[in-house]
Amino acid sequence: MTTIKYIFSILLFVGLLGVTGCRKKSDDPGPTALDLRLEELMNDGTNWVLGSDGVTKDGLDVTDQFAGFKLTIGNKTYSTVNGLSPVWEPTGTWDFQSDNPDLIVRDGSTQVTVNLSTSALTLIFTAAGVPGGRVKSVSGEYQFHLVSE
């Protein structure tokens, strides 16, 4: 009789372990809004290129100045082709501003508003000219309307 109680106790214990081990882990919060936005911006490693709305500076079309523009976004890094420095440097860094997935800071000082849909990316920012350089010709508010290449 003691053996039966012993075996029954072991089976009950193993059964309880099995039931409690099958509970869903609630301590994994899943990806954050920033994680999801980062993945969207990185675009599976595919370049962002100018869409049909091109580039505007202070509301004027300046798309022709950025012919062949390409933007590749990495994990807090970026690279460009035909970025017309200082508007876009050939390479740089970025980070989200204040945990907001719609605001990034590029190269430590340029605040960029991010509008992202399933097929298009719009980046809005103000570029400052280079002291002693083409200040008036480069400085202003830019809107880059991009699509996946």
Position 58 in a domain: yes
Going from the C-alpha of 40 to that of each of 68, 74, 148, the distances in angstroms are 22, 11, 11
**Is the pLDDT score of 129 beyond 80?**
no
Confidence category of residue 135, pLDDT binned at 50, 70, 90: very low
Nearest to 108 by CA among 93, 127, 129: 93
What domain range is 53 assigned to? 33-148
pLDDT in tens, 75-105: 999 999 999 988 999 999 999 999 999 999 9
> Residue 49's CB: how many other CB atoms inside 10 A?
14
Domains identified in the chain, total number: 1
Position 66 in a domain: yes
Position 11 in a domain: no
Going from the C-alpha of 59 to that of each of 48, 54, 62, 139, the distances in angstroms are 21, 11, 9, 13
Confidence category of residue 37, pLDDT binned at 50, 70, 90: very high
- Phi (first) and psi of residue 123, to 5 degrees: -115, 125
